[in-house]
Amino acid sequence: MKNILAVGFGGMAGSLLRMAVFQFAGAGLGLWLVNIVGSFAIGIAAARLAKRSAETRLFVSTGLIGSFTSFSAFSADWFRLLETSLITGIIYAFGMTAASIAAAALGLLAGRKGRWND
C-alpha cells in the first residue's frame, strides 16, 4: 500500500508541476521543457536514489518525474506533425528523443559527480 500511495502522491505533484510549466511556457515549448528537464531529473534520480527506500524511489521516479514528463503528448504532437509534413515529423521525433536521452545521460553524470556525492 505504501508503494501505491508513493506513486499516487508523486504523480499528483508531477502532473501539477507539468501543468504549471505548460501555463508558463505554452504547450509547445512546455512539452520540450518537461521532457528534457524530466529526463535530466530521472538521470539524477537513478544515480542518487539507488540506495533509498522503494517508496522514495517510486515517489520520485515513477510518480513525480513520470507524471511530470509526457510521452503521450509528445506522441500526439508527433502524429499531428506527420500528417502535415513527414520530414518535420521525423526531425521532431529524432530531436525530442536525442535531447531527452542526452539530458538523462547528463543527469546521470551530474548525479554521480561533484557536490552530488554523499
Is 69 assigned to a binding site? yes
Residue 56 has pLDDT above 90, yes or no: yes
Is 62 assigned to a binding site? no
Q: To 10 degrees, what angle do helices 71-84 and 27-48 make?
A: 140
> Looking at residues 37-42, what average pLDDT do you find?
97
CA distance 46 to 54: 12
Please say whether the beta carbons of 35 and 100 come within 8 A: yes
CA distance 101 to 29: 18
Task: Give the range of the structural domain holding residue 48, as residue numbers without chain letter.
Answer: 2-116
Please say whether the beta carbons of 43 and 74 come within 8 A: no
Q: What is the pLDDT of residues 87-106, one digit of tens each?
A: 999 999 999 999 999 999 99
pTM of the predicted protein model: 0.89
Write down the pLDDT at residue 118: 52
Domain count of the chain?
A: 1
